[in-house]
Amino acid sequence: MVKSVTLKDVAKRVGVTAAAASMALSGSDRISDTTREAVKEAARELGYVPSSAGRALRNQRAGAVALIVPNSSQHVFGHMYFMHVLTGVSESANAHDTQVLVSTNADEAQGVAAYERVMRSRSADGAIVTSAAIDDDNIQRLVASGLPVVLIGNFPYLDDAVSVGIDDVTATRRITEHLVEVHGRRNLLHVTGTLDHQTGVDRRQGFLDAVQAAGARGDIIEGDLSEQSGALAVELALSSAEAGTPGVFPYDGVVFANDDMALGGMRILRSKGVAVPTDVSVVGFDDFGLARVTTPGITTMRIPAEEMARIATERLFGLIDGTADLAAPSHLELPVEFIARASCGCADG
Amino acid sequence: MVKSVTLKDVAKRVGVTAAAASMALSGSDRISDTTREAVKEAARELGYVPSSAGRALRNQRAGAVALIVPNSSQHVFGHMYFMHVLTGVSESANAHDTQVLVSTNADEAQGVAAYERVMRSRSADGAIVTSAAIDDDNIQRLVASGLPVVLIGNFPYLDDAVSVGIDDVTATRRITEHLVEVHGRRNLLHVTGTLDHQTGVDRRQGFLDAVQAAGARGDIIEGDLSEQSGALAVELALSSAEAGTPGVFPYDGVVFANDDMALGGMRILRSKGVAVPTDVSVVGFDDFGLARVTTPGITTMRIPAEEMARIATERLFGLIDGTADLAAPSHLELPVEFIARASCGCADG
DNA sequence: CTGAAAGCGCTTACAG
DNA sequence: CTGAAAGCGCTTACAG
């Protein structure tokens, strides 16, 4: 259908061998100046672009990195978080003249996750894995296989794995302390993320640390990061017998493990006539876009997702090229940023 | 670093040639049942996965499609629209056992857009191009080159190009009519999208068609799809001399070309004490997530981005495989869905 | 110094 | 029927 221009075509036009043309294009000084220029000229005229397959086969290098969304966290696909990650990965990959492959999990044919097949087929020279579950076997195998992999997130059980994350425990402790210290809240509820992900566990821990240190009340309801589960958690709290009077919200502060759940929770609170932030202070986590546009805006911890991804990809290239600084800690932690908005009582609007 | 298992390894283990092993794995009946099973068993044991580069070179097929974001629309990267598109493309690609390459425009080295290099290097067998500008030369060249390409959007100037879009003119006419007919609005403003994109032009046309048919007033302010430009447009309208009294908003209905601008506009209206929807009915376009979470929720036209992408990718495979239905129209239009929310005065909340 | 072979991994067309 | 060569496009190590 389309005439592919190969190195041979370029070589033939100049009257040299393909090998010579290859060397000319790579700027080798084995080739005379005149020939080299002639080859470059011919390549330009013909619109020659090296075949990625030919190169990959010869160089044993795909010239691509894979961005993997494990089946254990399909919920991130379709979320702004992933866009930020993709942006960061692309930026770094572009700088390294490398393609980006996005690999979701299609089939799990013969027990091998699709993304492991991607790696084993050498379609990509390395992989960025984002937000895998704690006990995701496929990821563990991928890391153990020795293929260059950098994880985004915290993986205490995979302590030899290279990873880039944030300190969820400290971040959640800080935002909980904000509720206690700045807004005087003493009856707190935490709606958790998915507890099979380390972030879910860590954020819960940070919350518990803060309420314990403050001597405040700190209850826990398990959520799953969806807007709906935030709504359900609030409904559960409202209907709880402990509330004394059903319909009266028994907390004066809620720490949601992400902004989506905070939105769902605020919806229910409003519909039941519970005022945010007057009656209840609400905070979320993430700041991937949503927290800024709701009414009231959600006070939150901003995760530097794009930067995490960019740094993770840089580290991945270090692994691939063998230039990785072996003295560097395998796990890197980036700072989060506290963003005060109206839902906790800080800003107006 | 990692021992790659090749076909030769599998073959050696069974005591046949690589060629025979290849045939065995592909299920050829040239190979005896026992040998075939032995080869498959060996492949399983060794964890053999075919090299994508070897296959690509031999089959002259990359086994990948590219999803391209032209430099003329970098604003879509980092927007939920792109996530929906990526989801749709991935779904279809997975079904075809094909990789997805995401290609943003890095360098524009030697006048060739990065994505044209991707195509010419045969890293991908075809490309999905999303939301290109009307006069984007690179895209036109890509289409003209004969490489399999399917565009998402409307491209009347590229009438031989295969594309999947929506009818922006009709959709915008309908949502404008809604303001006139259901809410009795007569003084309308349209804040346009980027007018170098066909959607911007078409939505403006739909708005103008509707106001003309209704005999209503219909002013235009040019925007660029950003939240900020929506805010600026409203500020401009507020300060306009025509308004008579500055600070009084001179319209009772605003049709924003997307939801982001509607949000920005509503922010300013609220801050100036103009009530939405009581004083002014507001509508947007897209419904990629934001319109549902604002207060009030934004009445909008939902673009079926994921389905557009899925269908576009299916058509792309038709082109690549040469099984495309030549009788099918080159441009396909999908229906949009009117979503009534509070910003126009329909729902409450 | 330079020409041309070898080989990356695969699959199919060909020779026996 | 089956064995093994040829060749996809590339680049480097080798032979001259």
Same domain for B299 and B315: no
Q: Could you check whether the bond before residue B304 is cis, i.e. omega within 30 degrees of 0?
A: no
What per-residue confidence (pLDDT) applies to B206?
98
Asked if B74 reaches chain A (Cβ–Cβ under 8 Å), the answer is no
* Distances from the Cα of B155 to the Cα of A248, B69, B84, B103, angstroms: 57, 16, 21, 21
- Over residues A75-89, the mean pLDDT reads 87
Same domain for A265 and A312: no
- Over residues A322-329, the mean pLDDT reads 78
Query: Of the ranges A56-60, B113-117, B310-314, which one carries the lowest mean pLDDT score?
Result: B113-117
Same domain for A237 and A178: yes
Q: How far apart are CA A205 and CA A210, in angstroms?
A: 9
CA B11 to C1' C7, in angstroms, rounded, equals 18
Residue A2 counted as domain residue: no
Same domain for A274 and A185: yes
Q: Is the pLDDT of residue A165 over 60?
A: yes
Kindly report the CATH number assigned to the domain that includes residue A111: 3.40.50.2300
Tens-place pLDDT, residues A251-290: 999 999 999 999 999 999 999 999 999 999 999 999 999 9
- Over residues B121-133, the mean pLDDT reads 93
Residue B260 counted as domain residue: yes
Contact list in B for residue A80 (CB cut-off 8 A) is 80, 83
Same domain for B319 and B294: no
- Over residues B77-103, the mean pLDDT reads 91
Asked if B275 reaches chain A (Cβ–Cβ under 8 Å), the answer is no
Residue B322 counted as domain residue: yes
Tens-place pLDDT, residues B224-281: 999 999 999 999 999 875 556 766 899 999 999 999 999 999 999 999 999 999 999 9
Tens-place pLDDT, residues A98-126: 999 999 876 555 556 778 888 889 999 99
Same domain for B292 and B211: yes
Same domain for B318 and B275: no
Residue A293 counted as domain residue: yes
Nearest residue, CB atoms, B87 vs list A78, A87, A114: A78
Nearest nt to the A9 alpha carbon by C1':
D9
Q: Is the pLDDT of residue B34 over 50?
A: yes
Q: How far is A85 from chain B (nearest CA, A)?
A: 10
What per-residue confidence (pLDDT) applies to B183?
97
Residue B57 counted as domain residue: no
Same domain for B185 and B111: no
Tens-place pLDDT, residues A212-234: 999 999 999 999 999 999 999 99
Mean pLDDT of chain B: 91
Residue B349 counted as domain residue: no
Give, in degrees to the nearest 5, the angle at Cα A156 between A155 and A161: 60
Residues by Cβ under 7 A, strand C: A 16-17, 19-20, 30, 32, 57-58, 60; B 4, 6-8, 18-19, 21-23, 25-26, 48, 50-51, 53-55, 57-59
Residue B324 counted as domain residue: yes
Domain range for residue A239?
168-303+338-344
Percent of chain A with pLDDT strictly greater than 70: 94
Same domain for B148 and B90: yes
Beta-carbon separation of A94 and B107 below 8 A: yes
Q: Which residue has the higher pLDDT, B113 or A302?
A: A302
The strand pair at B149-152 and B126-130 is best described as: parallel
Q: How far apart are CA B78 and CA B85, in angstroms?
A: 12
Q: At B28, is the pLDDT very low, low, confident or very high (cuts 50, 70, 90)? A: confident
The 3-state DSSP class for residue A99 equals strand
Beta-carbon separation of B101 and A106 below 8 A: no
Contact list in B for residue A95 (CB cut-off 8 A) is 106
Give, in degrees to the nearest 5, the angle at Cα B296 between B295 and B298: 110
Same domain for B322 and B205: no
Residue A57 counted as domain residue: no
Residues 3-42 of A with CB under 8 A from B: 4-5
Same domain for B310 and B280: no
Asked if A261 reaches chain B (Cβ–Cβ under 8 Å), the answer is no
- Over residues A185-200, the mean pLDDT reads 96
What per-residue confidence (pLDDT) applies to A1?
47
Q: Which residue has the higher pLDDT, B109 or A134?
A: A134
Tally of domains in chain B: 3
The strand pair at A187-191 and A149-152 is best described as: unpaired
Same domain for B217 and B295: yes
